[in-house]
Amino acid sequence: MAAHKPVEWVQAVINRFDEQLPVKAGQQSTHTKVSTEHNKECLINISKYKFSLVISGLTNILKNVNNMRIFGEAAEKNLYLSQLIILDTLEKCLAGQPKDFMRLDETMLVKQLLPEICHFIHTYREGNQHAAELRASASGVLFSLSCNNFSAVFSRISTRLQELTVCSEDTVDVHDIELIQYINVDCAKLKRLLQETVFKFKALKKPAQLSVINSLEKAFWNWVENYPDEFTMLYQRPQTDMADCAEKLFDLVDSFAESAKRKAAVWPLQIILLILCPNITQEICREVVEESKVNKKLFLENLRKALAGHGGSKQLTESAAIACVKLCKASTYINWEDHSVIFLLVQSIVVDLKALLFNPAKPFSRGAGSQSADVDLMIDCFVSCFRINPHNNQHFKVCLASSSPPTFHFVLVNSLHRIITNSPLDWWPKIDAVYCYSGELRTMFAETLGRVMQGCSAHAPLRMTPSLTFKEKMTTSLKFKEKTTDLDTRSYKYLLLAIVKLIHADPKLMLHNPGKQGQEIQSSTAELITGLVQLVPLASMGEIAQEAMEALLVLHQPETIELWNPDAPIETFWDISSQVLFFICKKLIGHQMINSTEILKWLREILICRNKFLLRNKESATLGSGIPIGRQAQTKLEVCLYMFLWSPDMEAVLVAMSCFRHLCEEADIRCGVDEVPVQTILPNYNTFIEFASVSNMMSKGCTALQKRVMALLRRIEHPTAGNTEAWEDTHAKWEHATKLILNHPKTKIEEQEWINMTGFLCALGGVCLQQRSMPGLATYSPPMGPLSERKGSMISMGSSEGNVETPLSKFLDRLLSLMVCSHEKGLQIRTKVRDLVGLELSPALYPMLFNKLKNSISRFFDAQGPVPINDTNTQFVEQTIAIMKNLLDNHTEGSSEHLGQASIETMMLNLVRYVRILGNMVHAIQIKTKLCQLVEVMMERRDDLSFCQEMKFRNKMVEYLTDWVMGTSNQAAGDDVKCLTRDLDQASMEAVVSLLAGLPLQPEEGDGVELTEAKSQLFLKYFTLFMNLLNDCSEVEDDGQQVGGRKRGMSRRLASLRHCTVLAMSNLLNANVDSGLMHSIGLGYHKDLQTRATFMEVLTKILQQGTEFDTLAETVLADRSERLVELVTMMGDQGELPIAMALANVVPCSQWDELARVLVTLFDSRHLLYQLLWNMFSKEVELADSMQTLFRGNSLASKIMTFCFKVYGANYLHKLLEPLLRGVITAPEWQMISFEVDPTRLEATESLEENQRNLLQITNRFFLAIINSSCEFPPQLRSVCHCLFQATCHSLLNKATVKEKKESKKSVVSQRFPQNSIGAVGSAMFLRFINPAIVSPYEAGILEKKPPPRIERGLKLMSKILQSIANHVLFTKEEHMRPFNDFVKSNFDAARRFFLDIASDCPASDSVNHSLSFISDGNVLALHRLLWNNQEKIGQYLSSNRDHKAVGRRPFDKMATLLAYLGPPEHKPVADTHWSSLNLTSSKFEEFMTRHQVHEKEEFKALKTLNIFYQAGTSKNGNPVFYYITRR
């Protein structure tokens, strides 16, 4: 369009500009501001090519806006903003007017644009806050307009002058003459203006003459300031025509100035006219002058007199001061060499001028109305004096003195600002000449800030850190009244603004600290910066706050930061900049600022500057970065950014997200120095980077952006002080907002903000939950001992009930209560909460949510009597179903890790129980359908969920859900209800299909029917139901054939339902071939063709699924038992034993003896004894407090060790001890010997020393026999000792790879007792194995009768000495045993060598003689019973265990399925239940088998494979009972 129809296109852009003005579009938001700015730039660019079109368009818009009628303050503000935008656009378009462009149609300018512009300049109303800005903006337009279109403006002025020459009225309109003040004037234009004035001056009325005099003076300054080179050139090459005009006008004005009043009015112009005549100035400085120049000389003399106070009137003195300041100012634009006369003139007046203007005792003032003009005059004087002589600092000192009036301070600061900001001429001195006053300027800033803050509030100024207060200093040095008046406060505010602007203009001026110590420099910089930071949040002082932000930004430029403290720039940077961040973020978090988004943008700039500085100094970037305020600032910054993420202002969210990039950059720089991973400083670095990258993509809208934010929040893995505090602060605000919404529905609350906060808390809650301890060693280490003793997280998984008061728990409780809120906005709240919990909740919170939902729903069933059916409960159930479905459907990242941490069986069963009793109303049918869909989704996510009693649970669910199939389909009902019912049938069947997949039927226990029979009946029940449903489908289909149209949809549904039913039958038969095939096979011969076809379909399906028909074999029971053993002895990748260790953790201690027997027997038969011992011993060592308590208690590990010693060591002990003991008992020389060494028990005839010798002799004999028997030591016991040794000694294998671990059969080893590791082996071996046999040889089966008492006493004392040697300790408590300490000590090394010999290496598993490879049925039955009784606890243990994910849930699923097939263990009469605690292992049969090594013989192996022998239970005499199965 732009190419073909440029005029229309430009017009379209102008129209868009017009429509988006605030006066038409309403109050500006950030978005509309950006849009308006864009339109403006667009028009400015177009104006370079289509100038006339754009200018005329803008002129018309301005006209229309000016003619609008406005009511109300807001509308007036919008009008004013619109006018400013148009004027600003016009000015920029006119300034960029192409030089070669055809002259703009002057009539258009004069007739249209100029009057509109003049309207703003002329209608200036005192006191109107907007008028001054509009006037300034309009004068800017006029200035740009007059650059290229001077004639048009000049003609208007000229015409007006002409009109005024002939005007007879006394009241004259001089507005157009005043335009002279605002136009662009160069040398030639000034000459034209002067000529025009000379020509018409006499004819003008007095008001017009005064207006011309005033305006021409302003025009002169416009020329000098805009074209200083032309003015300088005038003094190098004087222009006679300019001088002529100026002289003529001087004379005209001089003759006009008859009275003192008129003189005062014209002197400022006269001095300028003299300046325009360089030659005349030179002449009049001589003694004698021409007659025509006398009046000029006289004028100068009068000027000097008046300045010195001898002029006769105050008015003339004031005028002389103005004129002299103008002279000084003009002289600064002249190069000294060009015209020294004028400088002599200046020198002659400057002392008097300063004395007049800068006298603290008598401040210069022309009355209340001219305050700002007085200040401007003083500033001009100050700046000029500095430029003339920068080293004359008298007036500096006067202005700096704290006793001087505030005006002097204001003048000083503004003068310095002007010196810095004016574009300099070559000979002007630079600002660094006044750097020496930086200390005084800082003091002035501190004092002014103190006064303003005191005026703003009754409170003392807020400080950031106590170390940096200057409050004490302030109170002592300030010489001001206790209470400042409002007027004073206002003037101090202006001064403060000026000082802040000065800092912004040149920060070095305030940072200059020559010759001071580093610490002093640092504290003065800190005082300056912390002072500025206090101003940022002051919304009541908008301009000051804005300037303070700009000043801080300049102070944070890398080259400026270096000056904060040149002695230690980096340490100072971390200290001061961290305080800035801390303070600002604290304010932002508190939402104490209206313009918080703007401040956040500014903060982003500060962060960028910080990083630039760190990059410049990256070699030493971390010096001093570890200070507390540094860490606090980082935390506060994180909190601040997190909390902006839920802001309803989209821009604020995006800015906060972009700030994360700068946090990451800082971490990169800091970590690059120390060469550590960035995560050490910023644990969530990766997610922060993602936040930053998303901030660049402008999202489609607020909701989409929030979804993205929540997804990223869920990815935050590491809890930090920042995210925890952000969560807690947001939670407090959310609680407050929730109360407001519920209690005051009429209150206007930012609902979007509440929704965002809810989402934020849901998504970030997970990370706050994980105040995890550091992960331990990479071993498989499920905690032993009860759940309560385990070190939990901030909120324990096992039961959140114990920690109800945590904020997270409170938050979830509150959310659940909002799910059923009956508020007038209830529906909206309920929907939002449901969606946020279902879709945005952090997966780590799933277990807590599941527990809370379970508890809430369980309460419906707590009370006695019927379940309370009411709307609230039903609503809660419906919401729960929706949340659970969303949660399981929505595969949130990380969900599979957390879904299994809490079981949902109870909740699901209760949901079904509740929904069952809702009846068959339309709503109830809909809820049932949704619940069935939930069950289906649950089974899809089965691998991620954990079930304690899965088979039982799924059987129950099938029982309940099949009740709903065909539940209402045959009742007379409307078509709609029928439709819904069919939907329910479909949903129920889909759920049943998923539940039946691989499900062995499990009838209710305890109904007295034999298991197989009960299964059979259950199968028949379901199979019949499904057959009926198929028949039903067929009948309805037949009916549907006759009716077309509407029924087609129904028939499609029926086909789907039929397909589901066939699938359900297939799954049912597939998993239960043994109990179902006999019932179903007959259908293959059914008379009805349809039925036969269906059966063939089902049969085909199960053949495709690969059903295991071997379950029909006679050996099925033995095979399943074998698989059960395989499962329990199954080993994971890391050497872990999931099922065995779970069993060890949940079996009650009363059954530990039995469990020890079963585990050792089973693992040894599978050649995995070492792995069992390793897992058990390492746990025992991990939980032991010290070496002394190791294996001393009755733990499972101790029992396993004892059992191993007993079974595998019986032969060894017999061989070792039997000859020794028999020798002691039968040899005649030992018959009368006593071994008693306790003096209190000694008989009269006995000698203590002799007894001691006897005891030593026998002990030595036994000890030597033991330590020399290492070659006879059984290999299994070597395994036990080696495993124990490895578990207690320090090993470097914790760094080994998984592969190496497998190969070496050693796993990661506890480092707890490295120095005593071999001692643990010896101690345990003697305590549990050798000494019990020595003390009780008869009970151990070594001797056939008890030894005599005195020998028995000797054996007991000997065991004490042997145990001391093994323990590596001397006797201390028992006095009578101390004499043996030498013997004990002398044998430490020998014992140690023996222990090392038996424990240092582990025999290969193949070489070990597996004496127990025959697994008796008793052990298998015991295993079955232990697993069955503890099935639920094993499930809970595996799902709550931290290594659950590493192991996976397959072993448990397989176990549950096998147990379901095997059914409950055989029931025993109560009287026989004690058999499990009897020690069957000492039975003679097993001893016989072991002694004769029967298991190695071929006959045994052949017999074993036949599976014809079984052992179970014992006879009355305690012997094992064997069964022989003859039919095999």
Show the 3-state SS of 581-598.
HHHHHHHHHCCCCCCHHH
Helix H or strand E encompassing 1523 = strand 1520-1524
C-alpha span between 332 and 232 (Å, rounded): 10
- Mean per-residue pLDDT, 820-841: 82
- The b/e string for 1011-1023 (b: 16+ C-beta within 10 A; e otherwise) is eeebbbebbeebb
Give the pLDDT confidence of 1431-1474 residue by residue, as tens digits: 777 777 776 664 545 455 567 677 777 777 777 776 443 333 33
Q: Between 100 and 1419, name the one with better pLDDT.
A: 1419
Residues 54, 97: Cα–Cα separation, whole Å: 11
Instruction: Judge if pTM exceeds 0.85.
Output: no
pLDDT band at 1405 (very low <50, low <70, confident <90, very high): low
Least reliable range by pLDDT among 945-954, 961-970, 1244-1253: 961-970
The β-bridge relationship of strands 1520-1524 and 1509-1514 is antiparallel
User: Do the beta carbons of residue 907 and residue 965 sit within 8 Å?
Assistant: no
Mean pLDDT, range 958-981, rounded to an integer: 72
Q: Is there a contact between 864 and 785 (Cβ–Cβ < 8 Å)?
A: no
Angle between helices 438-456 and 406-421 (to 10 degrees): 120
Strand partners, 1510: 1523
Alpha-carbon gap, residue 578 to 630, rounded angstroms: 5
Summarised one tens digit per residue, pLDDT across range 177-216 is 667 767 777 777 777 777 777 666 666 667 777 777 777 7
Question: How many angstroms separate the CA atoms of 1401 and 1410, rounded?
Answer: 18
Q: Mean per-residue pLDDT for 235-245?
A: 74
497 CB neighbour count, 10 Å cutoff: 21
Cα→Cα distances 513→12, 517, 564, 1077, Å: 59, 9, 9, 99
| Alpha-carbon distances of 1113 from 392, 774, 1110, 1389, 1415, rounded to whole Å | 118, 52, 5, 62, 22
What sections of 918-1010 are H helices per DSSP? 922-940, 950-964, 975-996
> What are the φ/ψ torsions at residue 1186 (nearest 5 degrees)?
-155, 170
Q: What span, in angstroms and rounded, lies between the C-alpha atoms of 637 and 815?
A: 28
Which candidate, 237, 247, 121, places its Cα nearest to that of 187?
Answer: 237
Beta carbons within 8 Å of 9's beta carbon, 6+ residues apart: 1, 2
Helix (H) or strand (E) segment spanning residue 353: helix 340-357
53-95 confidence digits (pLDDT tens)? 777 787 888 778 777 777 767 777 777 788 778 888 877 777 7
Helix (H, G, I), strand (E, B) or coil at 563: coil
Nearest to 1313 by CA among 1368, 1361, 1356, 1352: 1368
Q: What is the pLDDT of the chain when averaged over all its residues?
A: 74
> At 1421, phi and psi to the nearest 5?
-65, -40
Q: What pLDDT score was predicted for residue 1192?
A: 55
Q: What gap in Å lies between CA 1059 and CA 212, rounded to an integer?
A: 103
Does the pLDDT value for residue 166 go beyond 90? no
Phi (first) and psi of residue 1514, to 5 degrees: -135, 160
Question: 1231 versus 474: which is more confidently predicted?
Answer: 1231
Tell me how far apart the alpha carbons of residues 1391 and 1330 are, in angstroms, rounded to a whole number. Answer: 13
Whether 1396 shows a pLDDT value over 80: the answer reads no
Q: Please, where are the H alpha helices in 149-290? A: 150-165, 187-200, 206-226, 228-236, 240-256, 260-275, 278-284
Amino acid sitting at position 519 = Q
- Does 1474 or 1400 have the greater pLDDT score? 1400
Nearest Cα to Cα of residue 1302 among 1175, 1159, 1171: 1171
Whole-number pLDDT of residue 283: 65
- C-alpha 46: how far from chain center: 47
What type of residue is 760?
Answer: F
Q: Tell me the pLDDT tens digit for each residue of 332-355.
A: 777 766 666 677 777 777 777 777
Mark residue 1394 as left, alpha or beta (left: phi above 0; alpha: psi -120 to 50; beta: remaining): alpha
Give how far Cα 448 sits from Cα of 378, 436, 458, 484, 487, Å: 21, 20, 16, 12, 14
> CA end-to-end span of the chain, whole Å?
98
Nearest Cα residue to 1205 out of 1006, 1387, 1389, 1340: 1340
CA angle 737, 739, 740 (to 5 degrees): 65
Q: Please tell me which residue, 518 or 684, carries the higher pLDDT value.
A: 684
The span from the CA of 755 to the CA of 932, in Å, is: 30
Strand partners, 1520: 1514
Q: How far apart are CA 837 and CA 843, in angstroms?
A: 10
- Over residues 750-780, the pLDDT tens digits come to 788 889 999 999 999 888 776 543 333 333 3
> What residues contact 749, with CB distance under 8 A and at least 6 apart?
737, 740, 741
**E strand or H helix at 1510, and its extent?**
strand 1509-1514
Quick one: 348 exposed, middle or buried, by C-beta within 10 A (0-12, 13-18, 19+)?
middle
Specify whether the CB–CB gap between 1001 and 955 falls below 8 A.
yes
Largest CA distance in the chain: 165
Which residue, among 1191, 1178, 1173, 1089, has the nearest Cα to 1131 in the 3D structure?
A: 1173
Q: What is the pLDDT of residue 1504?
A: 66
- Is pLDDT of 257 > 70? no
Over residues 1114-1160, the pLDDT tens digits come to: 555 666 677 777 667 666 666 667 777 777 777 787 777 777 777 77
Instruction: Kindly tell me if the per-residue pLDDT of 737 is higher than 60.
Output: yes
Query: Which tens digit of pLDDT belongs to each residue from 1184-1227?
Result: 655 555 555 567 777 777 777 777 777 877 777 778 777 777 77
pLDDT at 796 over 50: no
- Return the amino acid letter for 960: Y
CB 860 within 8 A of CB 914: yes
- The CA distance from 303 to 281, in Å, is 14
Amino acid of residue 1401: D
Q: Report the percent of the chain where pLDDT is more than 90.
A: 5
Q: CA 1283 to CA 1402: how far, in whole Å?
A: 8
Alpha-carbon dihedral of residues 33, 37, 42, 48, nearest 10 degrees?
A: 150
DSSP 520: H
Q: How many helices (H) and strands (E) does the chain have?
A: 68, 2
CA dihedral 1012, 1017, 1021, 1024 (to 10 degrees): 90
DSSP 438: H
Higher-pLDDT residue of 1331, 653: 653
